Amino acid sequence: MTTLPAFAGDVQVWFAQLESYFAVNNVSEQTQLHILFSPFPTPLTPVAKDLITDTLLNATHDSIKREVLLRASVSVEKRFETLVYDEHLGDRRPTELLRRMRELAENVPPDSTLIKQLFFSRLPAQVKAILAPMIEKGSVGVVAALADKVMDFVRGPTTAVIPQQQAEVPTGPAADRKITQEATSVAMLTAIERLTRGE
């Protein structure tokens, strides 16, 4: 007997392979449903739990297959809608956003043009300006890691807002430190920009 097919992420392909298994091994219709449930892929369990635990008396392999394909296609559509319309950077780091986008687009190559464009469109304008030369020629994973570093510099330390009438122009060592920190941030951002351009 041939071995049962392993699930590789494509529901239609898995069912086609399973049916080839049935044909090669002359599996009867009465047995097909039990074989279908016995190796049922874990990623598909959420959309088919009730079909497995509360199987109808007249259920067949074909009826369960139709329902699973219907539910799985709806699930894929929902994930795609979430990917395109609902996923934004927010308080996350760029690498965290990319990881979530790849999860939603599980059957899309991780460095596909779609993922690159969607990810890049979610970055702040100043970060996009620095990393623009990298997005076409570099891996989106590398771009995301650089975006993390750029975001750290762009956000900088959190400072309290001082009312205008009480604001004072700092002088002495404190002022020197502030100027030095700002100069260092500008220098590092410039260095990252030059790195992304291959200079």
| 130-158 pLDDT tens trace | 888 887 777 899 999 999 999 888 766 54
Which structure tokens are listed for 7? 């699930």
1 pLDDT tier (thresholds 50, 70, 90):
low
> For residue 81, what are the CA distances in angstroms to 53, 76, 78, 122?
30, 9, 5, 15
Q: Distance from first CA to last CA of the chain, Å, rounded?
A: 60
Higher pLDDT, 58 or 96: 96
pLDDT at 194: 57
| 20-44 pLDDT tens trace | 999 999 999 889 988 998 878 888 8
Mean pLDDT (the chain) is: 79
| 87-113 pLDDT tens trace | 999 999 999 999 989 888 877 888 888
pLDDT at 26: 92
> Which of 18, 15, 29, 38 is CA-nearest to residue 58?
29
Query: Within 10 A of 99 (CB to CB), how many other CB atoms are there?
Result: 13
179 pLDDT tier (thresholds 50, 70, 90):
very low
